[in-house]
Amino acid sequence: MSMFAKQYLETLQGLIERAINEQMDVIEMAGKRVAESVAQGGILHIFGVGHSHILAEEGFYRAGGLAAVNPILEPSLMLHSGARKSMQLENVSGLGAILFRYHELKKEDILLIVSNSGVSRVPIELASLAKENGIYTIAITSVKYSEQIKGDKQALYEIVDLVIDNFGEPGDALIEIPGLPQRVGPSSTVLGTALLNAIIVAAVAELQAMGFAPPVYISGHLPGSNEHNSTLARKYAARIRAL
């Protein structure tokens, strides 16, 4: 039976290799835009609903990650506040506008939206508002999934400035087990996390090349981490509500 677990890991490996072969140009472009934003005093906002919010937490206050990251974390759109309720709220008009105002996105910022399906209303609303206000937008999404389910509506990949495809299958899960009608083993969180951190690495490398000291947190278990991380947190506290 372990063959299915191995198949899952090998399929994920194949998706990461595909990202390396097909997505490096857009990953590097995303990193460049993030670096330019940070150098100009901007920050990177990360937003997702449901499981996609995990990437906002992954990018926030992270050892080896940028300090200039604001996670847009709305409890009502996250699973711990009620999974079924959150699925309904992610399609309520007006919530995106509330989040946009609350987090005070500015023109020098970047908005990265994570949505595997690319059709939920709140992410699309937030992306549209950001674009209307001159804010550069990036999406990590499954274009294949979006194309299959969007119908006559616009999907996220059709709205944002830069699309990074996670190559996810419609429905997210990858592995078919004989006799089971549902597939198992989702890919979006694993691929999304890898793509997000690749963007961060590219941004830090670009900042270093620009001669701008990259604001990078270090592990709290390392010597000198408290002073280093506290200095960075104080620098960005006025813009990042979660700090």
CB 67 within 8 A of CB 39: no
CA atoms of 35 and 5, how far apart (whole Å): 38
Q: Mind giving me the DSSP string for 101-123?
A: HHTT--TT-EEEEEESSS--HHH
Helix (H, G, I), strand (E, B) or coil at 219: coil
Q: What is the pLDDT of residue 92?
A: 84
C-alpha dist (Å) from residue 91 to 44, 55, 124, 171: 24, 20, 10, 18
pLDDT tens for the 243 residues of the chain, in order? 579 999 999 999 999 999 999 999 999 999 999 999 999 999 999 999 999 999 999 999 999 999 999 999 988 888 898 989 888 888 889 999 999 999 999 999 999 999 999 999 999 999 999 999 999 999 999 999 999 999 988 999 999 999 999 999 999 999 999 999 999 999 999 999 999 999 999 999 999 999 999 999 999 999 999 999 999 999 999 999 999
Phi–psi pair at 174, nearest 5 degrees: -110, -30
Spatial CB neighbours of 7, under 8 Å, sequence gap ≥ 6: 175
Neighbours of 160 (CB within 10 A): 26
Does the domain made of 9-236 have the CATH classification 3.30.2020.10? Answer: no
Q: What is the pLDDT of residue 90?
A: 85
C-alpha dist (Å) from residue 175 to 51, 118, 189: 19, 22, 15
Q: What is the pLDDT of residue 61?
A: 98
CA atoms of 97 and 192, how far apart (whole Å): 25
Q: What is the pLDDT of residue 78?
A: 87
Instruction: Output the pTM of the full model.
Output: 0.96
CA atoms of 207 and 230, how far apart (whole Å): 21
CA atoms of 105 and 70, how far apart (whole Å): 10
